[in-house]
Amino acid sequence: METPTEPAASNVSAMASQTRKILITGLPGCGKTTAIIRIVEALGRTEVAGFYTQEIRENQTREGFGWRRLDGRAGVLAHVEFRGGPKVGKYGVDVAGFERDVAPVLDAGRADVQLFVIDEIGKMECLSPGFVATVRELFTSDKPVLATVAKKGGGLIAEVKGLEGATLFNLTRQNRDETIAEISRILSFLKAAL
């Protein structure tokens, strides 16, 4: 059973000085992507790089998943109509497109970035060896990272949750607003320290 670190409001500045890696996990539909978007918006002018994912729906049926980089570029990660290549459930995954268009924006060597945002570290994304290598490099660097991570899974999913210095928040619909506020405060303290 996971035991997420949930800092008290009085420890926000201490938490910001101890962690540069913030992870959000939770059940599907709890609002992880919404939380990421709201946190990035709350930070204001911070230089950020990364991506978030969203469902692709047609006639109220989920047909796939798209990605959108924070610079506005967008594409499709997985879709029921993708044939050939790897699959997760009923979805074919465009690993090559994801590696080409998303993984490079997560380059830990970028000096212009104050915060890297990853939504999400999940089964589909982890099919990309380039993404896995890039995330490992980011998580061993001193660069601040805000990421969502699947609730279950081995490999990179389990690895990032177990890293020393990473803070894991377990998001629910009930605690979403307070968790967003807490993470925003931590990242604001961290931004001021950079």
pLDDT value of residue 11: 52
* Residue 88 resides in a domain: no
* Residue 160 resides in a domain: yes
**Full-model pTM:** 0.87
Residue in the block written with tokens 């910001």: 16
Residue 99 vs residues 68, 104, 107: alpha-carbon distances, Å: 14, 7, 12
pLDDT value of residue 44: 79
DSSP state of 154: S
* Residue 119 resides in a domain: yes
pLDDT value of residue 192: 61
Which segments of the chain have a pLDDT < 70? 1-18, 45-46, 191-194
pLDDT tens for each residue of 55-110: 999 998 999 999 999 999 999 999 999 988 899 999 999 999 999 999 999 999 99
Domain ranges, residue 23: 9-51+102-193
* Residue 97 resides in a domain: no
Q: How many domains does the chain have?
A: 1
* Residue 57 resides in a domain: no
* Residue 176 resides in a domain: yes
* CATH code, domain carrying 20: 3.40.50.300
Helix H or strand E segment including 95: helix 95-101
* Residue 44 resides in a domain: yes
Q: By the 8 A CB rule, do 33 and 25 touch?
A: no
pLDDT value of residue 190: 73
